[in-house]
Amino acid sequence: MVRNGLLVFPNLTQLDLTGPYEVLARLPGAETLLLWKSCDPVRSEHGLTILPDTTLADCPPLDLVLVPGGAGINPLLEDRDVLAFLRRAAATARYVVGICTGSLVLGAAGLLRGKRAGTHWMSREMLRAFGAEPVAERVVVDGKLFTGGGVTAGIDVALTVAAEIAGRAAAEAIQLAIEYDPAPPFDAGSPERAEPGLVTDVLNRAATRQRDRAERVARAAQALG
């Protein structure tokens, strides 16, 4: 049996969580727990409400700990309780997973030093503040650390972890069961291929959040020493 612990928090990007959840919960014999400070409902950034299974304080030992991303990671970068929990969980976990900007939270917990890591393209360079080497790949594996690109890349990361846990055949069976066979209608899923004007527009809309994130990353990195 493998026990997965997936962090939930206010204003997370729900697909960062639910995509990997759909994969990891299908592992043979898996127990998959949603974790937060309380068991009260948690509202994602666009309104989907998620119910945690257990609290950080009551969380049992984990084989896998996963942090999703989203706008709500900004406060977590300086949340001592969350960062302390992640350090404890990661010390004994066999797999440490960061989805999208969840990787930055792992960095703020001191878990990325000297590691290759990925995250959403808008925040990739922020990984350097935590001593990581940013990698522009959809899935990045460095030892027991599994990270990758933004949002939808979380499914790829989770399938990669699933293959490590249960073997390629089991991971492929999960992929087939969820019919994960992406063929997007547009070729605008990365800043390298999207029209420059579209990239500028997306960056402008995210500017306030990104400024706040950069400031918090700098403080979190300073706190690590």
Positions marked catalytic:
100
Distance CA 122, CA 206 (A): 9
DSSP assigned state of 50: E
* Residue 1 CA, distance from chain mean position: 22
**Run of H or E residues at 66:** strand 64-67
- Distance (Å) of CA 66 to CA 90, 100, 210: 10, 11, 22
DSSP codes, 44-99: -TTS-EE--SEETTTPPP-SEEEE--STTHHHHTT-HHHHHHHHHHHHH-SEEEE-
DSSP letter at 49? E
Measured at the alpha carbon of residue 192, what is the angle toward residues 187 and 196, in degrees to the nearest 5?
85
Residue 152 to residues 28, 41, 94, 190, Cα–Cα distance (Å): 23, 24, 23, 12
The sign of the dihedral angle between the CA atoms of 80, 83, 89, 91 is: negative
